[in-house]
């Protein structure tokens, strides 16, 4: 519940904005990725992959919390992309998301980079 008594909606916790650039789709996420909000991220990923871009970048620079269900969504994105789409995840070097992904040992599997420019260059 919010402070004014309204029910919390997934889009209140997480915002995902798509950007298109030279055959790449960048999904810029901001907020918290948890059980309630993960459908927002998953839907954006599914929509982006439907067009089979050469590269999908999931930019988590503005994400302040990443629950295990969010990590699952990232792994599913990687699997769903198949061979036709490369997937990169942006997690700033000293951020909570990078630390979380580091603790899980998934940096390599998720192709984690620390900046959007690195993701688009790779």
Distances (CA, A) of 75 to 13, 42, 47, 89, 104: 21, 11, 16, 10, 12
Chain center to CA of 59: 6
Q: Considering the chain, what percentage of its residues have pLDDT values greater than 70?
A: 94
Single pTM value for the model: 0.92
Mean pLDDT over 81-93 rounds to 95
Does residue 30 contact residue 58 with C-beta atoms inside 8 Å? no
pLDDT in tens, 12-60: 889 999 999 888 999 999 999 999 999 999 999 999 999 999 999 999 9
Mean pLDDT over 58-78 rounds to 97
Predicted local distance difference test score (pLDDT) of residue 1:
54
Side-chain-facing half-sphere of 45: CA atoms under 13 Å: 27
Does residue 40 contact residue 7 with C-beta atoms inside 8 Å? no
């Amino acid at each position: 519940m919010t402070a004014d008594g309204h029910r919390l909606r997934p889009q209140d916790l997480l915002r995902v904005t798509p950007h298109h650039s030279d055959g790449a789709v960048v999904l810029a996420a901001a907020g918290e990725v948890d059980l309630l909000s993960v459908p927002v991220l998953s839907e954006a990923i599914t929509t982006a992959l439907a067009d089979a871009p050469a590269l999908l970048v999931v930019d988590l620079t503005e994400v302040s919390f990443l629950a295990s269900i969010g990590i699952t969504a990232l792994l599913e994105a990687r699997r769903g992309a198949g061979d036709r789409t490369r997937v990169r995840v942006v997690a700033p070097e000293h951020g909570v998301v990078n630390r979380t992904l580091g603790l899980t040992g998934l940096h390599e599997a998720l192709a984690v980079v620390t900046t959007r420019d690195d993701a688009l260059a790779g």
